[in-house]
Amino acid sequence: MEELKPWWTSKAIWTGVIGSLWGVAGVIGILPENLSQADVLTVVLAVTGIGGVLFRKTAKTRIS
């Protein structure tokens, strides 16, 4: 039988959630003063893209 894990224990899911929260913060204008929306978007896309692939590649169980 295949082992399943709850969605909230997935690093790939949390990478996406955190990236989405930063994106929303940029859209509604609650970023720290020294960060522009373009800077945040660039970094968030890079980190979440790479993180999502790496975390999914290293996962040992499927999400239920």
Residue recorded with tokens 């999502």: 52
Cβ atoms of residues 47 and 11 within 8 Å:
no
Look over the chain and give the mean of its residue pLDDT values, rounded to a whole number. Answer: 80
In Å, how far are 7, 13, 29, 48, 51 from 64, measured between CA atoms? 6, 12, 35, 21, 20
Q: What percent of the chain shows pLDDT beyond 70?
A: 98
Tell the residue number behind the tokens 């169980």, with chain if given. Answer: 61
pLDDT level of residue 55 (50, 70, 90 thresholds): confident
Angle at 11 between CA 53 and CA 38, to 5 degrees: 65
pLDDT at 7 over 80: yes
Q: What is the pLDDT of residue 1?
A: 62
Report, as an integer, the average pLDDT of 53-64. Answer: 77
